[in-house]
Structure 1
Amino acid sequence: MIDSGSSKLADHIFRPQSIALVGASDNKNSPAGRPLALLRESGFEGRIYPVNPKRTQVQGERTWKSLESLPEVPEHVYLLGSAHTVLDTIAYCIEAVVPVVTILASGLSATSTNGITLEQKLGAMVLDSRTRILGTSSLGVVSFGNGCRLTANAACSGEFPLGGDLVVSHSGSIVGALVTRARSRGAGFAGLVSVGTELDLTMAQICTATLDDPSVLGYVLFLEHLRDAPALRQFAAEAARRNKSVVAFKLGRTDEAATLSLTHTGAMGGDDQIADAFLKDSGILRVHYLDALPEVCMLARTLSQKRQGHKLRTAIVTTTGGGAAMLVDELALRKVPVSTLPDDTAAALRTAGIDYHGGPILDLTLAGTRADIMSKALDTLVSSGYFDLVLIVLGSSAHSRPIESVEPIIEITHRTTCAVAVLVMPHAPVALALLVDAGVPAFNTPEVCADALHTFTSKRERVGYTPIGLKTAEMTGTVLDDFGINRPPEVFIDLYAEAFSALPFDYPVVAKLSGVELAHKTDVGGVALGVTSVEDLLSVMSKWRADKRFKGKSFRVQVQPMVRDVVAEVLVGYLLDKEVGPVVTLSAGGVFAELSDRRSVRMAPVDEGEAMSMINELPLSRILDGYRGKGPGDKQELARSISAFSRLAEFARVVEAEINPLMVLPIGQGVSAVDVLFREAVPQYRRAG
């Protein structure tokens, strides 16, 4: 596949001068007939060539027997026929240098043997050509600005507001759900793309091609997977440089990798927490409600100039006490902070004749229904210079007096750089439409509003790092020495030895079976704690030799001194995820690692500051701070060790690794890595750059 240039590619996809519809049907309501009907309905001004060798007309228009019979080489071909015609059609398109072919053809299912074979052949055909493929299984593309509704999606019929965000989706049907939901609230988009199976053109490539399009102000992504993660990250970085927001809805996790993993960390393969870490690390705002997507895009544009160096400062003004309380509850569930008003702002409100009784809400339940009171309150808040966002919760007046309710809100947005958003509690379609039309993000449920705000408070900035250059080639326990992670001394004894040299450390000790076939020793009784003497150790070894499960195995016995004064046991893991790349994890460790469903996940590597954030977001942080009379643990050394271990990202061949347990000792005494596991392989992912 030869790229003809991003801007030209965008023109071919969204602004073609000529379109051929191969397999066009006379039935306007069928997938093969709908693209022609929608192009005509939307007033597309380019040339349209319906191609159908079996008919002389479709939908009252002349048809052409083949692409070869057309008076010109079309700029964009939409292939709507059956699978048996696809290869011949693509062969002609490559020969004629058709810039873009979108494929929606029956019989190309990625789950059938024939479909997979056909896709492989198609991929090989276009590999070195100048023809780009959108699909297969693509419901097409829509550009609302020029009437190019080249789609089989029935939801794209009718009038739509023109917006500034481009929707790009792995699912074709979800595009229709999103655009119609937005339209019901008066919101619109710049365009829509259904990428299908991404045989050739990927979501990241299509988005990248539109980065310099002035009509595209931001992006909405519906993600079913992250197979093109490195390119998606690079696109998001380029979008950020152009001050264009990227908002995503990502479907949940898959479990296929869990049964193949060596470590507890490896069982996270495909986990939704990994996807979440990747999106945050890439600066992509993630929402969990479809209805939040248009508003988050609007809010992202107004918050893009938010001051750096502090968390999002939000003031809540309400004309409905109950509605505001519901919102605060939803925000608290997501750990989204709400700011109390500074003393000088409270004083300014009193001077304006507005009472503020403290707490996270400025309650104007009765007086706030008057436009002049709301104007004074909003003026005071936005002019304080303290807040990044002022969120207004409107009550029943939004339904009974919609214009009067929203006028002071719309007016204040025209003369402030502070972001303003609204939650409309009653069913008030007129108020919602007025706000959206004025470019004010307007939500209609507390859940969706809270989800939207959470995307901004959970966003992370990517921090660079300096490679340390490991000296050791073999991935064994000695790698911890290279990372500067403390571990107890150890000796290895052959399981079948009848005697051994004196240990270089005192009893009591811990004895563990060691071998490549033993990942989780405790599960098979391969760990003995508190061994107090040589005789005890020989007895433990004798018991293991007699165990039928260990017969014929080349096991050794790993002996370490018991670690004392432990404040907490944690698990630090590393995984080269097959989609997004290297991640580092932190959770409770020891024998309870599999029982804990709370863990912190980040893209690797992380610096010590981010590692400390990982610690502080888990319940174990309370233990490390000192719990029920127990002294605090060495959190700073734990953070340093997490950061160091995350630099396994420098080694592409390491696909899984974990320290379990990593013993956290009292402040000033550091940590002790009792057990470490590594797995190497040739990974599918290679770290970009």
Structure 2
Amino acid sequence: MNPLHRALFQPRRIALIGASADPKRLTARAQLYLRKHGYRGDILPVHPREAEVLGEKAYPTVADIPGEVDFAYILLSTPHVEGVLEAVAAKGIAAACVLADGFAESGPEGAALQARLVATARRAGLRLLGPNSMGVVNLNDRIACSVNAALEAETLPAGRIALVSQSGSMMGAIMSRGAARGIGFSHLVGTGNEADLSAAEIAGLLVDDPQVDAILLFLEAIRQPRHYADLARRAHAAGKPVIAYKLGRSPYGAELATSHTGALAGSDAAAEAFFRAHGILRVTTLEALIELPALAISRRPPAAVHRAVGVTTTTGGGGAMVVDCLGVAGIEARAPDPAAAAKLDAAGIHHHGRLLDLTLAGARPDRVAAAIDALQQAGDTDLVLSVIGSSAQFKPQDAVAGILHARDTGGAKPIAAFLVPQADASLRLLAEAGIPAFRTPESAADCIRAWCDWRAPRPEPSLPAIAHALPDRPDEADARRLFAALGLDSPFAVLRQPQDAPRDMAWPVALKILSPDLAHKTEIGGVKLGIANADALRQEAAAMQGRVARMAPEARLTGFLAQPMAKGLGEAILGFRRDPEVGPVVLLGTGGITAELFRDVTLRLAPVDEAEALAMIAEVKGLRLLAGWRGLPRGDLPALARAVVAVSRLAVRDDISEAEINPLIIHAESEGVTVADAWVVRAT
């Protein structure tokens, strides 16, 4: 096993620096919990005045501890951490954890202090967890080196699910929620500030652990995205699902960007694209984070997904509720197909519509098992969901018996259960049997949606370089030349003075002001459409120059851009952005001035291939009109897909932070696309 894995998860000797002799204090908890939950190694309290701490021999300093130490938990307040870490490094300890806060999260001074901690650790080859970390738990080996109050529980079920959480308090909350329903954990880690060790690197250590079948991530931010990508590839190869719950889904985060793309490609959309590309299952409810492993463990990502389930229920209202939630999540509860219907008829089970309602028959195990067995025969569903009503609360053995029998005698299609009442005993029975079980209709839909969306990590892309120079402050003409180098060439002319006119260009034309400082020109009078001839162009250019100078006096004006007027069947916004968390992403949506208003967009990690680009096109509602909707003319969607692929290739250009075409005009079939407006931003 990796030496760092041993130091973090199987330490034989643990130093508790700053351990309190007062059992009521927070800094006494790690020692109390280690002994409470059966740690069999050496506990080495470090205290400057006490000879003994809570029954264990104490040492004045780290240096006074005889022999080697595997792991140090620094429980001291912030001002004392730096000096003690130097002593830990000098002792040759492999890994240390810092409990205190007040570092990078508190401002510049704290950030500087945190940077010094990392520098000290790296000089000595010491790996650092935290600061602001609640520690490490390995329940299978009875190591509870943490101050999390959830460890007050008398017993904690061990299991084969690991949790790596950037929030220490959520580490305990998730553990206690799982314990209440018989779901045990193998390892739990609070990563805190991730000054050195990130959640991805720690999760990567657990991929090779034979005690781990699935890895859960509770994330506030994605740091070191390459580590997450490596984790996901290795976990997929090992057959271990990685499941993430990430904060930041609300629209209130600041979106600091100069183009439509920056505002539309918010960090959560980019995170979603990142998880999708790397085969990480993402859930949006806390219950689903605990419930999904039972569905995903031992099952590879679905190869041919129908995004449909068969549902049988012993409660009409409960069944209808989960069918509704599934529909909101984009999963269809499908009526029995002919094969399933024939099996139901043979069993004497009445069926009608998309919900197989057994309410009048009750939760008789034989009827539930027969219904599940029949729905397993359907060729157009991915999973069978059994909904159980009040019997799950009052007769748990009977309630789950039919589900267990169907699992033992049925086909390969997954079987899951949604228990409508509060039914902890039934949930525990199902957990022990490895049956996916859901406490709420929302978490049921969330889990099934995530499982249906699950794909293998995409191959690492390999792209040729784009040899095209850009000035430090590019204007639209520079952006158009860049897109032309990508294969998106549309005619335009640059006019340096108002009296200039384009040569060999078809009239009418559009005229725009050129400036590296103006991403949006319409609002300040910097765009004029439908100019019929050269005289009108010169007159409008002079007027435009004056308007823009008044409306945007700080903007540097570099001339004008003229282009032929183009009319197509539709418009798209096509953008590229280097997201601060996950890196390069490509965005496609309904274009024009309403792009931000309707937010009809989809996003992928860049680069993408043509198949993925076509999938993106299908996800944009406004572009469905161009697929021949109700007899409308078809647009050149293959050309649009090629344009998406081309723009996504900007991922190889580290010097570009953002680029956009809005609108990209889509013409009729086989007539291509036209760049109507373009913008690019150099990375700083």
Q: TM-score scaled to structure 1, two decimals?
A: 0.93
Query: In 1, distance between residues paired with 2:399 and 2:276?
Result: 36
Query: In 1, distance between residues paired with 2:444 and 2:214?
Result: 19
One of 584, 587, 590 as aligned partner of 2:586: 584
1:82, 1:105 within 8 Å by CA — same for their partners in 2?
yes
Q: Flag the 1:40–1:233 CA change in 2: closer, same or farther, 3 A.
A: same
Paired residue secondary structure (1:662): strand
Query: In 2, distance between residues paired with 1:536 and 1:318?
Result: 72
Report the CA distance between 1:435 and its aligned residue.
1.0
Query: In 2, distance between residues paired with 1:501 and 1:450?
Result: 60
After alignment, is 38-47 or 348-357 more displaced?
Answer: 348-357
Deviations 1:361-408 (A, max 9, x none): 222222252111122222333356765421100112222322111012
Task: Determine the structure 2 residue equivalent to 1:514.
Answer: 514
Query: In 2, distance between residues paired with 1:545 and 1:582?
Result: 36
Report the CA distance between 1:69 and its aligned residue.
1.7
Question: 1:129-208, aligned counterparts within 5 Å?
Answer: 129-158=124-153, 159-208=155-204
Task: Determine the structure 1 residue equivalent to 2:527.
Answer: 527
Query: In 2, distance between residues paired with 1:402 and 1:335?
Result: 31
1:21, 1:79 within 8 Å by CA — same for their partners in 2?
yes
One of 36, 54, 61 as aligned partner of 2:56: 61
Report the CA distance between 1:302 and its aligned residue.
4.5
Task: Determine the structure 2 residue equivalent to 1:616.
Answer: 618
Deviations 1:290-316 (A, max 9, x none): 11112101111153274x133345221
Paired residue secondary structure (1:258): coil
Amino acid of the structure 2 residue aligned with 1:538? R
1:312, 1:456 within 8 Å by CA — same for their partners in 2?
no
Q: Flag the 1:302–1:340 CA change in 2: closer, same or farther, 3 A.
A: farther
Please say if 1:258 is aligned against 2:255. yes
1:495, 1:555 within 8 Å by CA — same for their partners in 2?
no
After alignment, is 339-348 or 382-391 more displaced?
Answer: 382-391
Long gaps (5+) in structure 1: 1-5, 683-689
* Number of aligned residue pairs: 670
Report the CA distance between 1:148 and its aligned residue.
0.6
Query: In 1, distance between residues paired with 2:663 and 2:380?
Result: 45
After alignment, is 130-139 or 472-481 more displaced?
Answer: 472-481
Query: In 1, distance between residues paired with 2:437 and 2:613?
Result: 36
One of 556, 559, 563 as aligned partner of 2:562: 559
1:486, 1:671 within 8 Å by CA — same for their partners in 2?
no
Amino acid of the structure 2 residue aligned with 1:522? T
Task: Determine the structure 1 residue equivalent to 2:486.
Answer: 483
Report the CA distance between 1:243 and its aligned residue.
0.3
Please say if 1:644 is aligned against 2:646. yes
Task: Determine the structure 2 residue equivalent to 1:411.
Answer: 405
After alignment, is 248-257 or 230-239 more displaced?
Answer: 248-257
Amino acid of the structure 2 residue aligned with 1:562? M
Report the CA distance between 1:625 and its aligned residue.
2.8
Q: Flag the 1:132–1:468 CA change in 2: closer, same or farther, 3 A.
A: closer
RMSD: 2.2
One of 310, 317, 326 as aligned partner of 1:331: 326
Paired residue secondary structure (2:376): helix
Query: In 2, distance between residues paired with 1:240 and 1:541?
Result: 59
Q: Flag the 1:113–1:530 CA change in 2: closer, same or farther, 3 A.
A: closer
Question: 1:176-255, aligned counterparts within 5 Å?
Answer: 176-252=172-248
Amino acid of the structure 1 residue aligned with 2:53? V
Task: Determine the structure 2 residue equivalent to 1:686.
Answer: none
Query: In 2, distance between residues paired with 1:142 and 1:501?
Result: 73
Query: In 2, distance between residues paired with 1:423 and 1:249?
Result: 21
Amino acid of the structure 1 residue aligned with 2:242? V
Report the CA distance between 1:611 and its aligned residue.
1.2
Report the CA distance between 1:502 and its aligned residue.
5.8
Paired residue secondary structure (1:78): strand
Long gaps (5+) in structure 2: 471-477
Report the CA distance between 1:553 and its aligned residue.
4.3
Amino acid of the structure 2 residue aligned with 1:555? T
Report the CA distance between 1:606 and its aligned residue.
1.0
Report the CA distance between 1:168 and its aligned residue.
0.3
Task: Determine the structure 1 residue equivalent to 2:288.
Answer: 292
Deviations 1:52-79 (A, max 9, x none): 1122333233322111222222211111
Query: In 1, distance between residues paired with 2:572 and 2:378?
Result: 45
One of 446, 450, 461 as aligned partner of 1:451: 446
Task: Determine the structure 2 residue equivalent to 1:86.
Answer: 81
Task: Determine the structure 2 residue equivalent to 1:377.
Answer: 371
Amino acid of the structure 1 residue aligned with 2:613? A
2:337, 2:378 within 8 Å by CA — same for their partners in 1?
no
Report the CA distance between 1:680 and its aligned residue.
1.6
Task: Determine the structure 2 residue equivalent to 1:347.
Answer: 342
Q: TM-score scaled to structure 2, two decimals?
A: 0.93
Task: Determine the structure 2 residue equivalent to 1:3.
Answer: none
1:255, 1:271 within 8 Å by CA — same for their partners in 2?
no
Q: Flag the 1:626–1:389 CA change in 2: closer, same or farther, 3 A.
A: closer
Q: Flag the 1:378–1:64 CA change in 2: closer, same or farther, 3 A.
A: same
Amino acid of the structure 2 residue aligned with 1:258? E
Query: In 2, distance between residues paired with 1:538 and 1:109?
Result: 56
1:26, 1:33 within 8 Å by CA — same for their partners in 2?
yes
1:257, 1:268 within 8 Å by CA — same for their partners in 2?
no
After alignment, is 476-485 or 590-599 more displaced?
Answer: 476-485
Query: In 2, distance between residues paired with 1:485 and 1:107?
Result: 50
One of 331, 336, 361 as aligned partner of 1:367: 361
Amino acid of the structure 1 residue aligned with 2:646? A
1:257, 1:266 within 8 Å by CA — same for their partners in 2?
no
Report the CA distance between 1:240 and its aligned residue.
0.6
Task: Determine the structure 2 residue equivalent to 1:687.
Answer: none
Deviations 1:630-673 (A, max 9, x none): 42322221112111211111212111001111001122212111
Please say if 1:402 is aligned against 2:404. no
Q: Flag the 1:477–1:305 CA change in 2: closer, same or farther, 3 A.
A: closer
Please say if 1:635 is aligned against 2:631. no
Please say if 1:281 is aligned against 2:284. no
Deviations 1:261-301 (A, max 9, x none): 23221235652111111111111111111111121011111
Query: In 1, distance between residues paired with 2:116 and 2:37?
Result: 35
Amino acid of the structure 1 residue aligned with 2:446? D
Report the CA distance between 1:546 and its aligned residue.
2.9
Query: In 1, distance between residues paired with 2:583 and 2:404?
Result: 44
Amino acid of the structure 2 residue aligned with 1:210? L
